[in-house]
Amino acid sequence: MMRLPPFTYVAPRTVRDAVAALREHGADAMLVAGGTDLYPNMKRRQFEPKVLVGLGGVAEMRGVRGSARDGFTIGAGTTLSALARHPDIVRHYPGLATAAGLVSSPQLRNMGTIGGNLCVDTRCNYYNQSFAWRKAIGFCMKKDGEICLVAPGSPRCWAVSSSDVAPVAWSLGAKVRLVGPAGERVIPAEALYRDDGIQYLAKQPNEILTALLLPPADGRRSAYMKLRRRGSFDFPVLGVAVSVRMDGETVREARIVLGAVASQPREATKASAALVGRQLTPEAIDAAAEAAAGPSKPLDNTDFTHPYRKKMTRVFVARALRRIAGLPVSGRVEEELA
Amino acid sequence: MADAVATTQELRIVGQPIQRHDARDKVAAAMAYAGDFALPGMLHAFVLRSPYPSARIVKLDTQRAAAMPGVAVVLTARDVPKNTLSTDVPGQTTTVGPLRATLHVLAEDRVRHQGEPVALIAAETLEQARAATEAVDVEYAPLPSVFTTADALAPGAPAVHESGNLLAQWRIARGDVAAGFARAAVVVEGEYVTQFVDAAYLEPESGVAWIDSDGVITIRLSTQVIEHFRDVAEVLNVPQNRVRVIGTYLGGGFGGKEDVTVEVYLGLLALKTGRPVKMVWTRQESLLARAKRHPYRLKYRTGALATGEIVAQEIDLLADSGAYAYLSALVLLYSTVTAAGPYRAPNVSVVARVAYTNNPPTSAMRGFGAMQTVFGYESQMDRVARALGIDPVRVRAVNTLRRGDSLPVGQVMETHVAIPELARRAWAALGTPAAPRAPHVKVGRGLACNLQPYGRIVWLHDWSSAWIGFEMDGSLVVRCGAPDVGGGQASSLCQIASEVLGVPLDRIVVHVSDSALTPLSGTTTASRQLYMSGNAVLKAARELRAQLLTVAARLLDTDAEKLEMIDGAVHAPDARTLSLRSLLVECARASVPRSHLGVYHAPAGEPVDLNAGAGKVFPDYTFGAHAAEVEVDTETGEVRVLKYAAAHDVGRAINPQSVEGQIQGGAVQGLGYGLMEDVVVEDGINLTTSFATYLIPTAADVPDVEAIVVESGEGLGPFNARGIGEPPIGPPAAAVANAIEDATGARMTRLPITAERVARALGLVTE
Ligand SMILES: Cc1cc2nc3c(=O)[nH]c(=O)nc-3n(C[C@H](O)[C@H](O)[C@H](O)COP(=O)(O)OP(=O)(O)OC[C@H]3O[C@@H](n4cnc5c(N)ncnc54)[C@H](O)[C@@H]3O)c2cc1C
Ligand code: SF4
C-alpha cells in the first residue's frame, strides 16, 4: 500500500476562513475537496503540501441554486453524484449532468466535487506513476525533473487536461467565481485554463473556486460524449462537449469543446462556425464534425494513438450533435448512469 | 492407472451446490489474509529494485541507509548465505530432467530487468524502511539490452545470459506435412501476437515471518506452494526442517504465487535480525516486479479438405521469457503439446522456442502456455470453416480427437473428448441473435474450444497426501497441505470426506497449507489440487472407513460391506444403528486407530523424447467450448460482449457452485486478456504499474457468463472429476475474435483487441 506523506489538516467552516488559512500557510498549503485526485497524487508524491485546507466543511460552497430563466449557481463543493442527479441540471443542462455522471466510478463521484473536477491535475503516462518509477526513469519537468520525456527537446510540458466537466462548462459559456485574498472575481470558464501541462490553471494558487455559474438555460441544448476503454473508472481519452442555442430550426449559437486533447480544453471553433445559421441536418452535422480537428499535437502520452483519437473526434462530435438534434445516436458512452 | 479411485454408488454430499465455509467470511471481510497478521516487535521490510532493464552495478553502498533512523538491517547479495534460487522444481517435484532454472535472490554484479531485487531493508516502520531504501547508494552503468524475441535471437544480439538467448526449444514432427498440404482444398495462414498480462489478484504478495520458540523459522504468507520452505532453507543454508511455511487463504493466485514471492526475503530478514518481520508488496510493486504471462508470436499454416478435415498443420511458436527462466521451458512444453488443439493432426510440425530478453520475467499464469495457443488454433479453425462455408460447430466435430487417437506429441487420448457436445451446447445457449442497435453496429458470434492439461507432467512423479481423523465426539478433522487459492479447494476436501464417512459438513474442520502440521500435498497449480488432494482425501477416508467398519461389523455382528455411514452413525441393513461415539470408544479399546494418512500417487511416466515420437506427457485433459455474441461499433471499433456461454466437461462437479465460479471467473479473466489487459513495456520499462493503466474488466464490461457444466464421469480425480481451475481462461480471446470476424469480416490477430485495433482492421484509421 502506498501511504500519504504526513501533513496538517485545516478544516475551515467558511470561505473567508479558508482564504485566511491559505494566506497563512502560503506555498506550503493546498486545497482539498473530495481528495479523489489530490490524495492519490500525494501518495505518488506528485504533490507534497505540508498543510491541506479541507473544503468539506464549508457549507456555503455546497448545493445548486437558481432557475432555468436566470441560470444556476453550483457550489464548488457539490458532489458529482449530486450534480449528475439534480433534476434541473438533468433537464436544462444535460451535457453537464452526463459529464458529471461519467467521471470515474460511483464511489469516486460520491466523494469528488465539481470544483475539484474543474481543477483536476493534468495527466501523462510518464507522470502518473509512483515516485520510485519516476525516479527510475529520471523524472520529468512536471515534477522533480528537468526535461519532458514525451518530447525531449520541448521547453514545456504537454500533460493532458482530463476533466470531464471542464469542456462542458466551457461550451455552456459558464463562469467560475474565484475568491482570494484580494476579494472575489468572476471569470469565464475558459479563462480558468492555460495551455501548459504544469501551470494548467490561470487562477492564483491562493484563490478558491467557490462556484460554477451557469447561464440561463434559454433554449440551450447540450450533450457530452466520452471515449474511454472501459465502461467505468477511466479518465476520458477524448471528451466532446457541445452546446447549441436555436432560433426556431436554425442554430443561433454553437460551441463545441474538446477535452483530453491538449493541456487545456480546446474549442473547435471551425466546427462551431460551420453550424451557425444552419439547421441541424445530418449533412450540416457531418460538415461540422469534419471541421472539428482532433488532438492538436501528435503526442502519444495518454491512451490510444493520435490518429485514432483524431478520427474519433469526428465520430464523437457527430454523435453529440445528433443527440442534440434528436437524431438516433448509439454510442455506449451514455450507458453508465450516475 | 495407478491408484485412481472411482465410484458408482449414489452420492449424498458430493455434487451438492454447497455454500463454502470460506465464502461468507470473505464477503463479510472476516477472513484474515496474510497481510492482516502482525506480531509484537515486528519489523517492516522493503525491497530495493533495479530501475534499469539492463545494467552493471558499479557501486552498491548501504552504509548511509543502515545508519538511518529505525533501520534494523540492510542486506545485499553478499549477506545471503546461498544467493542462488532454483525456480523450476516447485512442489512435490524432485527432478525435472536437464532444465535447471536459477536466479539470484539479490542481484550480484548485474541486473537484467526493471524491478530486479538489489537490496533488502527492514526497519521499525514501513516509512523508515522506505526512506532507507532511497538512501542506498547504487550506481548503475547501462549495458546493451534486447527487448524483442526476434532481436534476442538475431546473430550478435546482446546476451541476456552467458548461455545465450535461446532458453529452450521443443520440436514435434509427425506424418508428412508437405503431402498433407498437397491434398488440402484450402490452406489458411495466420500470424498471431499475444501480450504480457498480469495475474492482477486482489491480494498482493504478502507475509509475516518470525523465529518460533522452537527455533523454527516460520513464515505465514500468501502462496500457492508451501513446499517453498525447502527453497528458503537452501538460501538460508539451514536444514529443511528448520523452516516452516504456513499458507493463508489466498486473495487470488493465478500462478503469480507459484514461484517464490516474499518468503525468501522474510526468512532472510528473520534470520538476520531474530525479530518478526512483515512484507507486503504495493500494487505498483506487484505490477512491476511479479512475473507475467508469456507474450507469444504464433505462426500457423493449416490445410484442410473440403469436408473441413484438417490434414496438415505447420506451427511455429516463439515466446518471451523476459530476463529469467523461471518456468518458461515448461510453459513452452504445454504450448507445444496443445498447439494443434483438441483435434486430430495426422501431419503436423511444431517448432517452439522461448528466448531471454530484458523484459519483465514471465512464468506461470492460469493456462500455463496452453492458453496462448488457443488463440492460434481456434482462430485458424474458424478461418478454415469460413473458407469452406462450414458451420463452426461442425468443423470442430469433424476434427475432434476420439478416444484412442493421439495428440501430436504422441500421447494417446485415453478419455472421452466431449468437444462436439460442448460446442453444440455453448452455441445453442446463445439463443436468438440480438438485433443490431443501429445501422453501424454489427452483431456476430464466435466459438472457441480448448483442451487444458490438469495434473502435472507425468515424469514429475506427482503425489499428494492427506490425514483424516475423528475426535472422540465424532467430529472430524482433515489435514492437507493444499493451499486454498480461492477456488474452494479446502471446502471440496470436506465434501469428499463427508460423503465417504457420513459426517455432516458442519462437524468437519479442515486444516490446510502448513508445511509443519499438514501432510504435504504439492502445489495448488496445474489444475491439480482437486485431482491430487481430492484423491488423497478420498483414499484416506475410504481406508479409515474400512478400518472403523471392521470394528462396527463385529459389534453389529454383520459384514462390514453391508454397513453404511450416514449422518454420524453406522447403519446396518436391518435398520439397527451404532452411534459414531460408541464406535470410536470401541476402536480405542480395540487399539484400532481412528485416523489415517492417505497418499495418492498420480500415474507416472518417464520423460518423453520428442524426436522419437514421444508419448504421454500429462495425466489427462479438461475440454471446453465457449460461445460469444458481440456487437462491434463500426464507427469506433468498440467491441462489447453481449452474451457469453462457457461449457466444460468437468467429469464430475464436486461442488457445482465452485465449478460455476471457476468457469465464470476464468471466462471473465479470459475476456480481459482478449479485450483489454496489457502490460505495456517500452524498452524494458513497464508503463502500466497501477490499476489506472493496467486495465482489467469492471462489472460494466462483461456480460453474465452462462456456465454449462457437463459431467462425463471420465476424469481421474475423486468421483471421476477433472480439473477446472485453469481451463475456462483459454477460449475467450479466440471466441471474441471469431465473433468479430463474423460481425464485420475483420480478422483480429493481435491481443488485446482494443477499439483502436478493430478500427484499424476495419480501415477506419490508416495512419
Ligand atoms: C480511479 C480514478 C478515476 C478517475 N476518473 C476520472 C474521470 O473519468 N474524469 C475526471 O474528470 N476525473 C477523474 N478522476 C479524478 C477525480 O476523481 C475527479 O476529477 C474529481 O472530480 C476531483 O474532485 P475532488 O473533489 O475529489 O478533487 P480533489 O482531489 O480534492 O482536488 C483536485 C485538485 O483541485 C484542487 N481543488 C479542489 N477543490 C478546489 C476548489 N474549490 N478551488 C480551487 N482548487 C480546488 C485541489 O487543490 C487539487 O489540486 C479519477 C480519479 C481516480 C482516482
Ligand atoms: S508531457 Fe513531458 S513534462 Fe509533461 S508530464 Fe509528460 S513527460 Fe512530463
Give the pLDDT mean for B163-176.
94
User: Is the peptide bond preceding residue B436 cis, with omega within 30 degrees of 0?
Assistant: no
Question: Is residue B397 pLDDT above 80, yes or no?
Answer: yes
State the CB neighbour count (10 A cutoff) for residue A57. 14
Domain containing B46 equals: 34-143+205-280
Asked whether residue A49 falls in the same domain as residue A174, the answer is no
Q: Which residues of B touch A307 (CB under 8 A)?
A: 765-767
Give the pLDDT mean for B42-47.
98
pLDDT at residue B194 in the model: 98
From the list B299, B385, B403, the residue with the least C-alpha distance to B623 is B403
Give the nearest ligand 2 atom to A151 CA.
2
Asked if B127 is an interface residue toward chain A (Cβ–Cβ < 8 A), one would say: yes
Asked whether residue A31 falls in the same domain as residue A65, the answer is no
Block residue for cell numbers 512475473:
B291
Ligand 2 centre from A123 Cα, in Å? 8
Question: Is residue B715 pLDDT above 70, yes or no?
Answer: yes
**Residue A262 Cβ < 6 Å to ligand 2:** no
Q: Which residues of B touch A332 (CB under 8 A)?
A: 633, 638, 640
pLDDT at residue B610 in the model: 81
**Residue A163 Cβ < 6 Å to ligand 1:** yes
Give the pLDDT mean for B687-700.
94
Read off the pLDDT band of A133 (50, 70, 90).
Answer: confident
Ligand 1 centre from B136 Cα, in Å? 35
Domain boundary among B240, B256, B280: B280
Asked whether residue A77 falls in the same domain as residue A226, the answer is yes
pLDDT at residue A337 in the model: 37
Question: Is residue A22 pLDDT above 80, yes or no?
Answer: yes
Asked whether residue B99 falls in the same domain as residue B40, the answer is yes
DSSP conformational letter for B730:
S
Give the pLDDT mean for A213-242.
95
Give the pLDDT mean for A136-145.
92
What's the pLDDT tens digit per position in B95-129? 545 567 899 999 999 999 999 999 999 999 999 99
Which residues 22-81 of chain B have a CB within 8 Å of chain A? Answer: 49, 51-52
Asked whether residue B122 falls in the same domain as residue B261, the answer is yes
**Residue A149 Cβ < 6 Å to ligand 2:** yes
Find the length of chain A. Answer: 338
Give the nearest ligand 1 atom to A77 CA.
41
What's the pLDDT tens digit per position in B73-94? 999 999 999 999 988 766 655 5
Mean pLDDT of chain A: 93
Read off the pLDDT band of A334 (50, 70, 90).
Answer: very low
pLDDT at residue A336 in the model: 36
- For residue B700, give the nearest of A232, A328, A331 by CB distance: A232
Least confident interval from A164-168, B166-170, B467-471:
B166-170
Contact of B510 with B476, CB cutoff 8 Å: no
B127–A3 CB contact, under 8 Å: yes
- For residue B759, give the nearest of A132, A311, A331 by CB distance: A311
pLDDT at residue B208 in the model: 98
Instruction: Count up the domains in chain A and report the number.
Output: 2
Alpha-carbon dihedral sign for residues B321, B322, B324, B327: negative
Give the pLDDT mean for B193-197.
98
CA dihedral B32, B36, B41, B42 (to 10 degrees): 120
Asked whether residue B739 falls in the same domain as residue B678, the answer is yes
Give the pLDDT mean for A102-129.
96
Asked whether residue B326 falls in the same domain as residue B245, the answer is no
**A153 in any annotated domain:** no
| Dist CA B312 CA B310 (whole Å) | 6
**A151 in any annotated domain:** no
Asked if A229 is an interface residue toward chain B (Cβ–Cβ < 8 A), one would say: yes
Contact pairs from chain A to chain B, CB under 8 Å: 90
Give the pLDDT mean for B685-711.
95
Give the pLDDT mean for B342-353.
97
Question: Is residue B361 pLDDT above 50, yes or no?
Answer: yes
| CATH number of the domain to which B121 belongs | 3.90.1170.50
Asked whether residue A109 falls in the same domain as residue A224, the answer is yes
| Dist CA B256 CA B202 (whole Å) | 12
Asked whether residue A45 falls in the same domain as residue A78, the answer is no
CA angle B178, B182, B186 (to 5 degrees): 115
In chain B, % of residues over pLDDT 90:
94
Asked whether residue B749 falls in the same domain as residue B633, the answer is yes
**B543 in any annotated domain:** yes
What's the pLDDT tens digit per position in B207-217? 999 999 999 99
| Dist CA B354 CA B337 (whole Å) | 15
- For residue B765, give the nearest of A135, A137, A308 by CB distance: A308
DSSP conformational letter for B228:
G
| CATH number of the domain to which A90 belongs | 3.30.465.10
Asked whether residue B276 falls in the same domain as residue B302, the answer is no
**A137 in any annotated domain:** no
Asked whether residue B117 falls in the same domain as residue B72, the answer is yes
Ligand 2 centre from B201 Cα, in Å? 30
Instruction: Count up the domains in chain B and report the number.
Output: 3
B685–A3 CB contact, under 8 Å: no
pLDDT at residue B6 in the model: 43
pLDDT at residue A328 in the model: 83
Asked whether residue A40 falls in the same domain as residue A68, the answer is no
Nearest Cα of chain A lies from the Cα of B181 at a distance, in angstroms, of 40
Nearest Cα of chain A lies from the Cα of B765 at a distance, in angstroms, of 6
**A152 in any annotated domain:** no
Asked whether residue A114 falls in the same domain as residue A30, the answer is no
Asked whether residue B428 falls in the same domain as residue B475, the answer is no
pLDDT at residue B91 in the model: 61
Question: Is residue B1 pLDDT above 50, yes or no?
Answer: no
From the list B444, B433, B379, B386, the residue with the least C-alpha distance to B744 is B444
Give the pLDDT mean for A206-220.
96
| CATH number of the domain to which A33 belongs | 3.30.43.10
Angle between helices B372-388 and B732-744 (to 10 degrees): 30
| Dist CA B358 CA B334 (whole Å) | 23
B701–A230 CB contact, under 8 Å: yes
CA dihedral B299, B305, B310, B315 (to 10 degrees): -20
| CATH number of the domain to which B25 belongs | 3.30.365.10
What's the pLDDT tens digit per position in B507-561? 999 999 999 999 999 999 999 999 999 999 999 999 999 999 999 999 999 999 9
**B8 in any annotated domain:** no
Read off the pLDDT band of B667 (50, 70, 90).
Answer: very high
Element (H, E) at B287: helix B283-289
pLDDT at residue B101 in the model: 87
Domain containing A37 equals: 8-58
**Residue A140 Cβ < 6 Å to ligand 2:** yes
Nearest Cα of chain B lies from the Cα of A305 at a distance, in angstroms, of 8
pLDDT at residue B743 in the model: 98
Asked whether residue A22 falls in the same domain as residue A107, the answer is no
Residues 6+ apart with CB under 8 A from B112: B53, B54, B160, B161, B323, B324, B358
In chain B, % of residues over pLDDT 70:
97
What's the pLDDT tens digit per position in B611-630? 777 899 999 999 999 999 99
Residue B476: alpha-carbon gap to chain centroid: 30
Contact of B748 with B687, CB cutoff 8 Å: no
Element (H, E) at B172: strand B166-174
Asked whether residue B381 falls in the same domain as residue B438, the answer is yes
Asked whether residue A93 falls in the same domain as residue A232, the answer is yes
Three-state DSSP string of B648-713? EECCCCCCHHHHHHHHHHHHHHHHHHHHCCCCCEECCEECCCCCCCCCCCCCCCCCCEEEEEECCC
**A304 in any annotated domain:** yes
Read off the pLDDT band of A330 (50, 70, 90).
Answer: low
Which residues 283-312 of chain A have a CB within 8 Å of chain B? Answer: 304-305, 307-308, 311-312
What's the pLDDT tens digit per position in A27-85? 999 999 999 999 999 999 999 999 999 999 999 999 999 999 999 999 999 999 999 99
Contact of B615 with B411, CB cutoff 8 Å: yes
pLDDT at residue A303 in the model: 78
A135–B687 CB contact, under 8 Å: no
- For residue B438, give the nearest of A3, A105, A330 by CB distance: A330
| Dist CA A229 CA A238 (whole Å) | 11
Block residue for cell numbers 497441505:
B481
Residues 6+ apart with CB under 8 A from A79: A34, A109, A110, A111, A112, A113, A114
Alpha-carbon dihedral sign for residues B275, B519, B25, A231: positive
Nearest Cα of chain A lies from the Cα of B282 at a distance, in angstroms, of 5
Contact of A276 with A253, CB cutoff 8 Å: yes
**B71 in any annotated domain:** yes
**Residue A197 Cβ < 6 Å to ligand 2:** yes
Q: Which three cell numbers stand for residue B114?
A: 526493471
| Dist CA A93 CA A99 (whole Å) | 10
Element (H, E) at A266: strand A266-267
Give the nearest ligand 1 atom to A114 CA.
21
Among protein residues, the one with the nearest Cα to ligand 1's atom 27 is: A116
Read off the pLDDT band of A338 (50, 70, 90).
Answer: very low
Domain boundary among B246, B280, B314: B280
Domain boundary among A22, A38, A58: A58
**B7 in any annotated domain:** no
**A330 in any annotated domain:** no
A136–B114 CB contact, under 8 Å: yes
Probe ligand 1: pick from A7, A19, A36, max atoms within 8 Å of CB?
A: A36
Least confident interval from A109-118, B4-13, B420-429, B555-564:
B4-13
| Dist CA B147 CA A199 (whole Å) | 36
Asked if B642 is an interface residue toward chain A (Cβ–Cβ < 8 A), one would say: no
Q: Which three cell numbers stand for residue A114?
A: 465539481
B765–A304 CB contact, under 8 Å: no
Asked whether residue A184 falls in the same domain as residue A68, the answer is yes
Asked whether residue A297 falls in the same domain as residue A309, the answer is yes
Asked whether residue B468 falls in the same domain as residue B451, the answer is no
A130–B282 CB contact, under 8 Å: yes
Asked whether residue B76 falls in the same domain as residue B217, the answer is yes
Nearest Cα of chain B lies from the Cα of A162 at a distance, in angstroms, of 13
Nearest Cα of chain A lies from the Cα of B107 at a distance, in angstroms, of 17
Contact of B493 with B655, CB cutoff 8 Å: no
Asked whether residue B576 falls in the same domain as residue B620, the answer is no
A231–B282 CB contact, under 8 Å: no
Least confident interval from A133-147, B418-432, B663-677:
A133-147
In chain A, % of residues over pLDDT 90:
86
Q: Which residues of B touch A132 (CB under 8 A)?
A: 49, 51, 284
Give the pLDDT mean for B253-267.
97
Give the pLDDT mean for B276-297.
96
pLDDT at residue B9 in the model: 64
Ligand 1 centre from A224 Cα, in Å? 19
Give the pLDDT mean for B666-680.
98
A130–B695 CB contact, under 8 Å: no
Q: Which three cell numbers stand for residue A294?
A: 482532433
Asked whether residue A104 falls in the same domain as residue A236, the answer is yes
**B12 in any annotated domain:** no
- Among the bound ligands, name the one nearest to the CA of residue A153: 2
State the CB neighbour count (10 A cutoff) for residue B503. 24
